[in-house]
């Protein structure tokens, strides 16, 4: 039996048209808007997660507001890497937090941790507040400069899915990303690692002597990201997850006090 909605979505280029039709209908029944309006938004190129209002991430349903960066499933690997090094009651900072999906996944797995989240985009911060009711603090500002000064030297782990698309490659991204997600969440500078470099340059001031910095990047950027961490005195290792095609570079102080 033909499904007119599935046919419309498929004709618009939606690869998983059956799944998307089911989610759009669910959003309608949940009161997120008129079905035709929801479908028109999706066919018009808006990310499905922004249309239905949520994304699945690490087994959680994370709220996603229009105009906010949609969490990618590859970032679940960053969560796994962080959980492997977080100790009991650790102070953790999710920087460039976007919706707060990474922090939410960490809190779900480790409710004892003390989580702070930060983003430069006020819309993302508002979204993170909805997703992180258990956070110790959610802050607006540029990278770690957004944190309260009293956290300096007291952070156990910083996790960051920074923007890492090279400036010249942003225009080649799918329209639903470049037209509906903020440029500040996508553009990572000339080689895509500029934000990682800026973060690494200030991280040691915030970390405990044995604290760690974990950043996500593209696989081909791993060497540049590792160099950025090692350039500020951190010992860095690269981890890769084939299933998610995800890469994380982790750094710890080379000479803990």
pLDDT in tens, 210-253: 999 999 999 999 999 999 999 999 999 999 999 999 999 999 88
pLDDT for res 257: 54
Taking 80 as the threshold, does the pLDDT of residue 128 lie above it?
Answer: yes
Query: What is the per-residue pLDDT across 144-191, written as a single tens digit (0 to 9) for each?
Result: 999 999 999 999 999 999 999 999 999 999 999 999 999 999 999 999
Select from 72, 14, 15 the least CA-distant residue to 43.
14
pLDDT for res 253: 84
Rounded-to-integer distance, Cα 159 and Cα 29, Å: 36
Query: What is the per-residue pLDDT across 32-52, written as a single tens digit (0 to 9) for each?
Result: 999 999 999 999 999 999 999
Rounded-to-integer distance, Cα 38 and Cα 45, Å: 11
User: At a CB cut-off of 8 Å and minimum separation 6, what does 76 contact?
Assistant: 57, 58, 105, 244, 246
Mean pLDDT in residue range 78-101: 97
pLDDT for res 66: 94
pLDDT for res 246: 97
Mean pLDDT in residue range 83-99: 97
pLDDT for res 254: 76
pLDDT for res 228: 97
Domains belonging to the chain, first-starting first, are: 4-63 (no CATH), 73-253 (3.40.50.150)
pLDDT for res 150: 96
Q: Which long-range contacts (CB under 8 A, 24 or more apart) does 134-143 make?
A: 134/107, 135/100, 135/103, 135/107, 138/97, 138/100, 143/95, 143/96, 143/118, 143/195, 143/198, 143/199, 143/202
Q: What is the mean pLDDT of the chain?
A: 95
Please list the residues that pair with 250 across neighbouring strands: 214, 237
Select from 156, 230, 242, 157 the least CA-distant residue to 193.
230
pLDDT for res 256: 55
Mean pLDDT in residue range 79-88: 96
Give the whole-number percent of the chain exceeding pLDDT 70. 98
């Amino acid at each position: 039996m033909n499904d007119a909605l599935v046919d419309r979505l498929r004709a618009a280029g939606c690869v998983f048209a059956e799944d998307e039709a089911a989610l759009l209908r669910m959003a309608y029944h949940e009161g997120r808007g008129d079905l035709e309006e929801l479908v028109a938004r999706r066919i018009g190129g808006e990310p499905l997660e922004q249309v239905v209002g949520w994304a699945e991430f690490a087994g959680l349903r994370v709220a996603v507001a229009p105009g906010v960066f949609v969490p990618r499933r590859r970032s679940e690997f960053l969560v796994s890497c962080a959980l492997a090094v977080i100790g009991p009651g650790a102070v953790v900072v999710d920087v460039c937090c976007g919706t707060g999906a990474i922090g939410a996944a960490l809190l779900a797995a480790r409710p004892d941790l003390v989580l702070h989240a930060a983003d430069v985009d006020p819309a993302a911060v508002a979204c993170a507040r909805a997703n992180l009711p258990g956070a110790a603090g959610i802050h607006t500002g540029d990278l770690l400069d957004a944190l309260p000064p009293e956290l300096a030297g007291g952070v156990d782990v910083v996790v960051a899915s920074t923007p890492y698309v090279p400036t010249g490659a942003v225009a080649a991204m799918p329209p639903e990303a470049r037209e509906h997600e903020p440029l500040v969440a996508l553009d990572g500078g000339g080689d895509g690692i500029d934000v990682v470099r800026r973060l690494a340059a200030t991280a040691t001031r915030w970390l405990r002597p044995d604290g760690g910095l974990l950043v996500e990047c593209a696989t081909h950027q791993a060497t540049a990201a590792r160099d950025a961490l090692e350039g500020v005195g951190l010992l860095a290792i690269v981890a890769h997850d084939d299933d998610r095609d995800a890469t994380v570079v982790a750094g710890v102080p080379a000479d803990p006090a």
